[in-house]
Amino acid sequence: ENGFVATGGVLWDRSERWILGYNRHLRFCFVNEAELWGIKDGLELLLERNYDSVLIQTDSIEAINAIQGQAPNSSDLI
């Protein structure tokens, strides 16, 4: 649904050591968009820290499909 939402995530290294956690408020958007914003924010943080190999884990099949190009482009993020 469309409503006031926040997004965030946790970043781990290959040895499963915590790197950092992050979050932010998004105001009003769809849940699927919040999932994509969370992934995008995490990727940007990793790039800033010079990580070049990433495994994305999410429980959102809609986000997975959008990233893999298997969903209609309903967001400005993709």
Distance CA 21, CA 9 (A): 6
Q: Sorting pLDDT into bands at 50, 70 and 90, what band is 70?
A: confident
Report the C-alpha gap between 35 and 14 in whole angstroms.
Answer: 23
Cβ atoms of residues 38 and 10 within 8 Å: no
Query: Is pLDDT at 41 greater than 80 in this prediction?
Result: yes
Answer with the residue of higher pLDDT: 15 or 78. 15
Please tell me which residue, 74 or 16, carries the higher pLDDT value.
16
| 46 has a pLDDT exceeding 80 | yes
Q: Looking at residues 46-70, what average pLDDT do you find?
A: 91
| Chain position carrying tokens 């105001």 | 27
What's the angle, vertex CA 34, arms to CA 28 and CA 35, rounded to 5? 165
Neighbours of 61 (CB within 10 A): 12
Render pLDDT for 2-40 as a digit per residue (tens, 0 to 9).
Answer: 567 899 999 998 899 999 999 999 988 888 899 999 999
Domain boundary assignment for the chain: 2-67
